[in-house]
Amino acid sequence: GAGVSQSPRYKVAKRGQDVALRCDPISGHVSLFWYQQALGQGPEFLTYFQNEAQLDKSGLPSDRFFAERPEGSVSTLKIQRTQQEDSAVYLCASSAARGGRPTDTQYFGPGTRLTVL
Amino acid sequence: AQRVTQPEKLLSVFKGAPVELKCNYSYSGSPELFWYVQYSRQRLQLLLRHISRESIKGFTADLNKGETSFHLKKPFAQEEDSAMYYCALQTGANNLFFGTGTRLTVIP
């Protein structure tokens, strides 16, 4: 079956523009994660959903970042008034795990490379 | 606070030589540790997890709680092992904490 997909794969934005990044998780996966990967760094956690509930948003760097998963499937990460420091690869991952169960494998999407000029 | 350290950004070995990618972690609780790999032009994927105690593509990793390490080892490196390797720690929450990664190059 299809893996995690993300769109767009590349996005160039002018400083101050708003952007929206989409993630389609593996069908039936309960958990969905967003990570930010700056150049030369490992992925850093942004936020986590279990179905439609956003259970952890402690990694979002500022209130310009907003994520939603209204129907418990597709998720959108929105960045308002983009800044140059937002330039990074944004990774989405999904897993079948529910909270409290043993950890399950996270399957990653190809990422969206955001460049803010 | 949790932390994952991969001291080597770059590592080069000759084909057939042993390889060890180092990973140290800091976490006060009981950790779950993973190695993820990213081959050229491919997405990040799980290589192995300590809880499974398995060998994948000839790689093994042993959790050493005394030294807080989870080094990745393979006795005979192959060219197809060239990739970016990330060590990751999962705490009681569900998210992963990644190290900065080690780029392994296997020289033919």
Q: How far is CA B94 from the centre of its chain?
A: 19
Burial (0-12, 13-18, 19+ Cβ within 10 Å), A53: exposed
Q: Does B100 touch chain A (CB under 8 A)?
A: yes
Measured over the CA atoms of residue B43, residue B38, residue B63 and residue B23, the dihedral's sign is negative
Region class of A28: left (phi > 0), else alpha (psi between -120 and 50), else beta: left
B55 alpha carbon, distance to own chain's centre = 12
CB-based burial, B72-103: b 16+ in 10 Å, e otherwise: bebeebeeebbbbbbbbbbbeebbbbbbebbe
Across the interface, of A42, A59, A111, the residue whose CB is closest to B100 is: A42
Option in A42, A43, A108 nearest B45 (CB):
A108
Q: What number of other Cβ atoms are within 10 A of residue B48's Cβ?
A: 20
Decide if A84 contacts A113 (C-beta within 8 A): no
- The residues of chain A scoring below 50 in pLDDT are 100
A43: contact with B, CB 8 A cutoff = yes
Residue of B nearest to A112 (CA): B43
CA of A96: which chain B residue's CA is closest? Answer: B94
From the list B1, B27, B14, B22, the residue with the least C-alpha distance to B100 is B22
pLDDT of residue B31: 83
- Band of residue B108 on the pLDDT scale cut at 50, 70, 90: very high
Residue B95 sits at the vertex; the CA angle it makes with B90 and B97, to the nearest 5 degrees, is 60
> What integer best gives the mean pLDDT of chain B?
92
Question: Which residue do the tokens 């799980």 mark?
Answer: B46
**By the CB < 8 Å criterion, does A3 face chain B?**
yes
Q: Is A54 helix (H, G, I), strand (E, B) or coil?
A: strand
How far does A13 lie from chain B, in Å, by closest CA?
23
Eight-state DSSP code of residue A110: -
By residue count, chain A amounts to: 117
Of B31 and A117, which is predicted with more confidence?
Answer: A117
Whether residue B10 has pLDDT greater than 80: yes
pLDDT at A61: 94
For testing contact with chain A, the best of B40, B44, B86 (most A CBs within 10 A): B44
pLDDT digits (tens, 9 = 90+) for B51-96: 777 788 999 998 998 999 999 999 999 999 999 999 999 876 677 8
**Which of A43, A91, A99 is facing B94, going by the closest CB pair?**
A99
Hey, which bits of B6-77 come out as E strands? 10-14, 19-21, 24-26, 32-38, 45-49, 60-61, 72-74
Query: Which positions in chain B touch A36 (Cβ < 8 Å)?
Result: none
The span from the CA of A64 to the CA of A22, in Å, is 17
Average pLDDT rounded to a whole number, residues B42-50: 92
Query: Do residues A62 and A80 touch, judged by C-beta distance below 8 A?
Result: no
Confidence at residue A2, expressed as pLDDT on a 0 to 100 scale = 79
Report the chain A residue with the minimal C-alpha distance to residue B91: A103
DSSP string over B65-105: TTTTB--EEESS--GGG-EEEEEEEE-SSS-EEE---EEEE
pLDDT value for B95: 79
- Residues of chain A contacting residue B99, judged by C-beta atoms under 8 Å apart: 42
CB A66 within 8 A of CB A58: no
